[in-house]
Structure 1
Amino acid sequence: SYTVVDGEVYYRENSVMTPVELSGDAKERVKGMVELRSIVNELIAYQLEDFLESDIAAKQAELNAAYDAFTTKFGLLNDRKNGRLFEDDSSYYLLCSLENLDENGKLKSKADMFTKRTIRPERAVTHVDTPAEALAVSIGEKGRVDLPYMAELLGTPEDFGRITEELRGVIFQDPSDQNWKTADEYLSGNVRNKLQIAKLAAANDPAFEVNVEALTAAQPKDLDATEIDVRLGATWISPDIIQKFMNETFQIPFYLRYAIRVKFSPSTAEWRIEGKTKTGHNDVMAYETFGTARASAYKILEDTLNLRDARVYDTVEDDSGKPKRVLNKKET
């Protein structure tokens, strides 16, 4: 950002001050914008620290006077010339926000900061009247359901009965960790597993029956096989499933099923079919029905699992006699 020391302009970056060579007019523009930036930051601080309204009004008057003096001499802060000079300053766009412009780039009005309090200091909530209000504050301040904190807000420390009763169905105690959670959190995720845990808990403590009821209602509909679309190459599919598909589709002889194996590497997310040449070219299913003499069904499957196009290449010599690979479009 730019700063002014003893009337000279410097650019400060990573605590290093570098002198900036500017013409007389440009220097005055930058100095004027540095002054405006300082007043704006002070005005923001006054509001955040909840200064008296009279102090804020005095600072707004100072900002108005400085802004009017600058724009009378150098034009709008949003003008191109001022932008070119000051756009490297981190606060330039804050200064630009002081001006409300019309569609032609002309000043429509000054921003509210000149005349109104635009920032309110954060005030901690220390008391609420209802458990619903306490929950909202707890989520906002703590990011979770915090019963002791909510009870403090209600003025009933350690008394959670009213909270849990009035928020029944809105918050739930999770039997897996005994923490209280909102319905949005508890009734999402692996609700099937949560239901099983809730049923076990309810068998010993009827208080968890409400969990069972809510989780039962939240269970997703079971899908029919026709509604499940699985794409080869999806990394969540077990290699055993692909192995079974390959065995049944390509009708691999039983004595070779332990030699031709589907492997998946989680670290590289790469599929590999080991022993894919074991059957030889006499394998009709691999080299005729589902593949060709140049690309067996196992190679095509491996390419598909890795989301690659199956391609056949020929090796030929270029003009200099060096071998190079060329795509065989017909075989591909």
Structure 2
Amino acid sequence: APQNVGLVLMDAGGRNLLAIEREEKGRLVKSDIFVHPVSFSVQQTEHTDTPEEALSLSLNRYGSVELGYMQELTGSSEEELLTALKGRVFFNPLVGGYEIKDRFVAGNVIAKIEDIRQWQQVHMEADSRVEEALAALEEAVPEQIPFADLDFNFGERWIPTGVFAAYMSHLYETEVKIAYSPSLDEFSVSNTRTNVKIYEEFCVKGYYRSYDGMSLLKHALHNTVPNMMKCVGKDENGNDIKVRD
């Protein structure tokens, strides 16, 4: 009802709510979304002259490369379509069909190459379409990073936590456990028992507090430093004047 419009608009999503109705000859009726799709055209194209447009229509309608549908649109044969779209679509034997370049030559291309090589070993059949797809993937393989450019800082996220845990267990002479949470980008550390190496040998004693080996380990993993403070005098109220140590 008209008197409810102001009340509805007080809500942040009020305009969306009003959109479920429309006025027709002085009456409010259900909007078009209840009757037919409104986010895309319901009119179907029955013919197009170019393979490129046929590909776009196939992707819009099916979300994939449907050669049968594209043949109906253009009147061309499958071979003619593939020739015209060479370099834009590739045969993926893992899915048993064609995919556009942006989807096929993307992601972990090295893993895709290995999977397709294994597929070839199982099927033992020569297929020029597969070789063409492999060539496109191999061309997209990123250049390997030289060993000298690799970063091996303590706490690198790509290094398994077990490597750090094994090293620290050896250094502290007690079992050290390290876990990493990708969602928080944070390490947690724990040890089975504390010994002299943790609370004495690898301990840093500051003016106000000490940081034992486990605290220093966590800072090292996060590439941070302890907030060490020292007193350099008193202010007029008798409080410590603190500076970084």
Taking structure 2 as the reference length, the TM-score comes to 0.63
Shift of 1:135: 1.1
Does residue 124 (structure 1) correspond to residue 44 (structure 2)? The answer is: yes
8 Å CA contact 2:155, 2:220 repeated in 1: yes
Residue from 90, 102, 107 that aligns with 1:189 = 107
Gaps of 5+ in 1: 4-8, 17-37, 39-120, 315-325
Residue from 161, 164, 183 that aligns with 2:79 = 161
Distance 1:140 1:277, change over 3 A: same
Equivalent residue runs for 1:134-283 within 5 Å: 134-155=54-75, 160-203=78-121, 204=124, 205-207=126-128, 208-229=130-151, 235-244=157-166, 246=168, 252=171, 256-257=173-174, 259-265=175-181, 270-275=186-191, 278-280=194-196
Give the Cα separation in 2 of the matches to 1:160 and 1:138: 14
8 Å CA contact 1:260, 1:278 repeated in 2: no
Give the Cα separation in 2 of the matches to 1:286 and 1:145: 62
8 Å CA contact 2:89, 2:98 repeated in 1: yes
**Aligned to 1:11, what secondary structure does the other structure show?**
helix
Q: Which has the larger radius of gyration?
A: 1
Cα deviation, 1:12-59, whole Å, max 9, x if unaligned, reads: 54499xxxxxxxxxxxxxxxxxxxxx8xxxxxxxxxxxxxxxxxxxxx
Cα deviation, 1:279-311, whole Å, max 9, x if unaligned, reads: 325887623xxx447213431221343576523
The amino acid that maps onto 1:295 is Y
**How many pairs are equivalent?**
202
The amino acid that maps onto 1:11 is V
Shift of 1:145: 1.7
Shift of 1:233: 5.3
Shift of 1:328: 7.0
Give the Cα separation in 2 of the matches to 1:311 and 1:11: 57
Shift of 1:190: 0.3
Equivalent residue runs for 1:24-103 within 5 Å: none
Aligned to 2:202: 286
Equivalent residue runs for 1:297-312 within 5 Å: 297-306=213-222, 310-311=226-227
Shift of 1:246: 3.8
Identity %: 20
The amino acid that maps onto 2:66 is D
CA RMSD of aligned residues (A): 4.1
Distance 1:15 1:278, change over 3 A: closer
More off after superposition, 268-277 vs 132-141 = 268-277
Give the Cα separation in 2 of the matches to 1:299 and 1:327: 25
Distance 1:123 1:263, change over 3 A: closer
Shift of 1:187: 0.8
Shift of 1:154: 1.8
The amino acid that maps onto 1:138 is S
